[in-house]
Amino acid sequence: MKFVENPPDAASLMTSARSFGNYDLAGALADLIDNSIKARAHRISLSCLFGAGDPAIRILDDGHGMSADELRVAMRPASGHPLNERSPDDLGRFGWGMKSASFSQCKRLTVLANQAGAVSGAVWDLDDVDGWRMGVLDEVEARGLASPDLRERSGVEIIWGKCDRLSENGTLTSEEFNALIVHARNRLALIFHRYLSGEVRGRKLAIELNGQQVEPWDPFHRDHEATQELELETLAIAGRTIEILPFVLPHYSKLKATQYERLAGEEGFLRNQGFYVYRNHRLIISGTWFRLIRHGELSQLVRVRVDIPNALDHLWKITIDKSDAQLPALLRARLKQIVDGLRRRSARVYRSRGGRLDRAGTTSVWSRHARGGEIRYSINREHPVIEALLNGGDEAQQQTAGAALKVIEQAFPVVAFGQDAATQPDSIHQTLSDPEAFRRDLISALPALLHQVDGDFKALTALLRKTEPWCESWNTTQAVLTEKGWASAES
């Protein structure tokens, strides 16, 4: 057998690189920021301008830069072997990141670098790549393209040109482009929140997008007093350590509307529960249970931070765009145990918000009667909504409403409830887990409640403050009253 060289066609391979991974704008920018972090940058400036349908994108950092030779290596496709030993803080893996991320959005990639005052540059243009021809800029050309900041100090600047995919071949409107920028800012705030907050390296990383500082977005809301940070657990796998830190988020009744919306994200609390996997403090994947359990109402407050080292990339099967990972089989059994315990704790948070009987100063929906060794539960006829129901309409309607309440009381499933409470108490879930449903129900009840207090907004506030379920979720109740202009001065 003999061996012959059989290199790939340059244009075909480089064009295929546009489809490596599943990049959107946020993911592509995140891959470039990874390189800036590796270069010890303290500040990263992103400029994303619509340009009348021909977007202009620049990414500038103040890292240690590159020499001309280092730049040439960095621009080489597949410049690193995924199984090579890397420094513990290296966020790369395949040596494709900068190229594949950029080509997912554009056809012309220009990289400029300043190291020790020497500015160099290189260009890949997918319209002119035959024979692996890469453009190399001389110092004058590179300085002419560089921003003033890069001319004066070390760092790297990346310029995307011919942004056909980002602009969707010129069909993207300015409003749609702006929506992409907002989404990218929010995603970067989440992906790099531990760097932005100063949790990593003891110094905050500054990311600026179109002149606006990107603020960290902590998915665990650790600065809220009602967030439960549970016990840290470490697991050893292949001679490396994985850290698992669970959190139970506050019930929505303890959150302001803006806090709830931020934590819920674009797809809501239900979709954002689960594992948040970080590789070297950088978020890789969020909101998944890895098929250990289903996304459910009772577990929607649970979020689990998982920290993995880059030495285990091959076991977690980190994708080239660093947007997905797979749970190693060695960890499934232990993580399933952890998740089951967390789901029970999340259920208790919701169950504790349910109706509680015989509390001084609070009007409950249910009343408990103990007499002669017997216990009976009844619907409280003095609850304002029940009272409005019983007093509404003509006499026949009032009698029907009273009869309906008695039927409900007499048909209370005592045996089934007792069995469930004894065998699976953490699965019992009666309170609303969706603040929007809570808001809708309150808005529906408000006319009758306002009638009960003769239109007195101050009295309405006082009534709601002591009446279930609205007193249990006062932040949400108060927000509804404020929106309607019905909040009293003391609310």
CATH of residue 59: 3.30.565.10
pLDDT at residue 90, rounded to an integer: 44
Answer yes or no: do 371 and 344 share one domain.
no
How does strand 56-61 pair with strand 43-49? antiparallel
Distance CA 274, CA 255 (A): 20
Same-domain status, 152 and 250: no
pLDDT of residue 427: 63
Tell whether 129 and 267 lie within a shared domain: no
pLDDT of 393 reads 83
**Does any domain span residue 491?**
no
- Are residue 249 and residue 396 in the same domain, yes or no? no
H helices present in 384-454, as ranges: 384-391, 395-410, 414-423, 435-452
Q: 225: which 2 tokens? A: 């007093």
**Both 107 and 49 in a single domain?**
yes
Q: Which residue has the tokens 């674009």?
A: 266
Q: Are residues 375 and 346 in the same domain?
A: no
Determine, yes or no, domain membership for 302.
Answer: yes
Which CATH number characterizes residue 234's domain? 3.30.230
Q: Can you give the pLDDT at residue 94? A: 40
Q: Which helix (H) or strand (E) holds 277?
A: strand 274-279
pLDDT for res 351: 57
β-bridge pairing 366-371 and 374-379? antiparallel
pLDDT given for residue 354 in this prediction? 57
> Are 29 and 96 part of one and the same domain?
yes
- Which of 351, 380, 414 terminates a domain? The answer is 351
Residue 342, CA distances (Å) to 50, 187, 256, 273, 332 in order: 45, 26, 24, 11, 15
Contact at 8 Å (CB) between 59 and 29?
A: yes
Is the bond preceding 469 in cis, omega lying within 30 degrees of 0? yes
Domain holding 143, by residue range, is 10-213
In a domain, 135, yes or no: yes
d(CA 452, CA 455): 8
pLDDT of residue 166: 93
Same domain, 203 and 57: yes
pLDDT of residue 106: 94
Q: Does one domain contain both 79 and 17? A: yes
User: How many domains are contained in the chain?
Assistant: 3
Confidence (pLDDT) at 76:
87
135 & 255 share domain: no
Q: How confident is the model at residue 92, as a pLDDT?
A: 44
Mean pLDDT, 10 residues at a time, the chain of 491 residues: 77 72 89 94 97 94 95 80 46 63 94 96 90 90 96 96 93 95 96 96 93 96 91 88 91 81 82 91 91 81 91 76 74 86 70 60 81 79 84 85 85 75 64 75 87 86 87 84 74 54
Contact of 250 with 226, CB cutoff 8 Å: yes
With contact defined as beta carbons under 8 Å apart, do 142 and 120 qualify? yes
Tell me if 358 is assigned to some domain: no
386/468 Cα distance (integer angstroms)? 12
